[in-house]
Chain A
Amino acid sequence: MSKLVINYEKLTMDNIKELVAICPFNAIEAKGNKIDINAGCKLCKMCVKKGPKGIIEFVEGESKKIDKSLWKGVAIYVDHVEGKIHPVTLELIGKAKELAKKINQPVYALFIGHNIEKKAEDLLHYGVDEVFVYDYAELKDFTIEPYTAAFEDFINKTKPTAILVGATTIGRSLAPRVAARFRTGLTADCTILDMKENTDLIQIRPAFGGNIMAQIINPNARPQMSTVRYKVMDEAKRQDEISGKVTLCKINKEKLHSNIKVLKVTKKQVENSISDAEVIIAVGRGIKSQKDMDMVQELADLMDAKVAGTRPLVEAGWIDAKCQIGLSGRTVKPKLIIVLGISGAVQFTAGMNSSDYIFAINKDEKAPIFNASNYAIVGDIYEIVPKIIEGLKANKKIKK
């Protein structure tokens, strides 16, 4: 058992004050000449590391160790609806191959559905060593209990050390369910993944919605699970020849019972998707009023671009929620993105920093968005954008 221990005999009025002040979560309360740590404590250990020495100590308890050598292989979940494979799957394979190579272990794919055997063979073109297929009529539509049961069966059979799942609406529902069943950790929306020699998976994701990256490990539990958003990793290249094999798996049908009945499946209307856009104009709080969105749209039209933006603009109702870039919106990977009046919190940049060319215009030369840009342009969008529009219009005329 690890815990914080207070050395009460060392407390003085002065260091009590100091401790109360240092806790970023207001979890240390002064009670007369004593202190109390309340339930606001997040065990960030700031009081141990930065507070007056020796007053609060962190006592590490013994944790049970697991035998990591029993868990081998890097697995990915094949994200699909009715056999139509989501492209995030190929990106997961690309990353899984890289991770597996570092520890010299195989890459597995888990494919759950109905009438999918042919599709499974197709995955062998991407360098997967073994595709495990659960093909049952009960698995035709995604419902949580049968899919979790098949996933559980797969883990028990193959014991993979790590599992990557796409952060689609399916993956974000299924992965936590599986993680809880195995009492293991799951890190959402990883932007960087790496493998240690001892098979611990290094998972890096933006944290606190702010300007911080957190490196997370899962050292005493297996399998290690991560979700990864679409368009974050590079996809595996298709090869003409195939390698590996497809294995059909059997599961007790009783486990495929569900309390959920899918009554109807309708295709979503083709939406104005920013995820597939090649050029994006992204706007943020630098835009002063809603009517200025016309200027932005005009620029976008001249460049055949899509308009996207940050959460505050969605909340203001100036852009559609589907056009929000960032952790709570979409991830985009266009060839060109021009960022106008966005300061650049990680919550936003994590959703666009793998774009090929990033131009950012901002008045504040210290704006963090510039750290993520190829072209950092210090200036006022209200002076620059109208000139660009003028210039592009003139350019079009010349072409005609």
Chain B
Amino acid sequence: MEILVCIKQVPGTSKVEVDEKTGVLKRDGVDSKMNPYDLYALETALRIRETSSGNIGVISMGPPQAMEVIKEAYMMGVDRGALISDRKFAGADVLATSYTISQGIRKMGNVDLIICGKQTTDGDTAQVGPEIAEYLGLPHVANVLKILEVKDKSIVVEMDMPNTIEVAEVNFPCLITVEKDIFQPRLPSYKMKLKTKDKTIETICLNDFEDRDENKYGLNGSPTQVERIFPPDANTDRETWAGSGQEISDRLIKKIKELKFV
């Protein structure tokens, strides 16, 4: 079985701040670690390979430094990795990103199962997985809680629904996005680090794609536009209290009594 896991490098901190006066992004927007949700996707792939055999590839999109997360995936035991990287992809929104990754996946050859983390910690949209599935014409199941069985031609999963849990059997090829805690991710191994030190990482750029129409990628392929960014509204109806612990607690109890909460 051919399994492919989509991974992303994200900023080490989820806080990116904007200098209100100048509008300049403060400089910690640089990506530095693997999106934590992707670790669950990788672990899911590794467990499936343990029981059903097969190969695991990883694919990522980003600047050259994103090779680091592919190396990390190698240290966890992944067989091959590719990075989609091209300046022409700059400024991509969800739609353009999904299309770019789907083109990269086509380049990697046949795949039976694509696994994504449920979302990234920087974009927080949870939309790229389902959009990739649409571009590849594959069925998908989002929010997978458990893998119940891996068969020759299908996989049986538990999916999280608003008030129910559904058990569904999905035919290969397909895409799933997995919830946090589906499996406990393993740590990258030092032994594997030494072993995979010189392992190659394929790079894929626009010229390698089937569809090389520049209008479909990056800023030009992105229907959404950010019109402006601004700090959130402050609550104007606000009182500030200070004082000793006793004073404050007396005041607070009085207030919540007044509001009839106790």
Contacts and interface: CB of A to CB of B under 8 A. Distances in A.
B22 interface: yes
Nearest to B28: A24
Contact of A391 (B24, B30, B249): B249
A37 B87 contact: yes
Interface in B4-35: 14-18, 22-27, 29-31
Interface centre among B22, B159, B163, B215 (most CB of A within 10 A): B163
A390 B25 CA distance: 46
B207 interface: no
B214 A260 contact: no
Contacts of A4: 90
B187 interface: no
A23 to B, nearest CB: 9
Interface string B230-262: 111111011111111110111011011101011
B171 interface: yes
A213 B95 contact: no
Contacts of B220: 1-2, 61, 63
B29 A303 contact: no
A94 to B, nearest CB: 19
Contacts, number: 338
B239 A376 contact: yes
Contact of B63 (A39, A219, A221): A39
Contacts of B225: 216-219
B2 interface: no
A44 B159 CA distance: 37
A387 B135 CA distance: 58
A125 interface: no
A215 interface: yes
A383 B133 contact: no
Interface stretch (A112-120, A128-136, A167-175, A239-247): A167-175
Contact of B223 (A84, A185, A258): A185
Contact of B240 (A181, A266, A302, A376): A376
Contacts of B253: 388, 391-392, 395
Contacts of A267: 163-164
Contacts of B245: 379-380, 383-384, 386-387
B191 interface: no
A248 interface: no
B131 A176 contact: yes
Contacts of B163: 81, 84, 86, 267-268
Given A209-B15, A210-B14, A81 B161 contact: yes
A199 interface: no
A79 to B, nearest CB: 7
A238 interface: no
Contacts of A27: 63, 90
Interface in B92-138: 93-95, 98-99, 119, 121-122, 124-131, 133-135
B200 to A, nearest CB: 19
B189 interface: no
Contacts of B241: 375-379
B240 A177 contact: no
Contacts of A251: none
Contact of B124 (A61, A188, A211, A365): A188
Interface in B134-190: 134-135, 139-143, 156, 159-171, 174, 180-181
A137 interface: no
Given A176-B94, A384-B245, A263 B16 contact: no
Contacts of A359: 252, 255
A188 B235 contact: no
A265 B130 contact: no
A236 B206 CA distance: 48
B26 A377 contact: no
A187 B62 contact: no
A86 B162 CA distance: 8
A170 B161 contact: yes
A184 interface: yes
A41 to B, nearest CB: 4
Interface string A318-357: 0001000001100000011000000001110100010001
B65 interface: yes
A26 B32 CA distance: 12
A172 B126 contact: yes
A172 B127 contact: yes
Contacts of A217: 224-225, 227
A215 B91 contact: no
B79 interface: no
6 contacts: A50-B22, A177-B140, A210-B17, A211-B15, A384-B252, A387-B246
Given A170-B162, A208-B15, 16 more contacts: A1-B215, A40-B64, A43-B90, A49-B23, A143-B139, A143-B168, A169-B161, A172-B130, A177-B140, A179-B127, A179-B131, A215-B230, A266-B165, A268-B165, A384-B252, A388-B249
Q: Which 8 pairs across A and B sit closest by C-beta, in order of nearness?
A: A43-B91, A40-B63, A383-B245, A387-B249, A185-B224, A209-B14, A185-B223, A180-B134
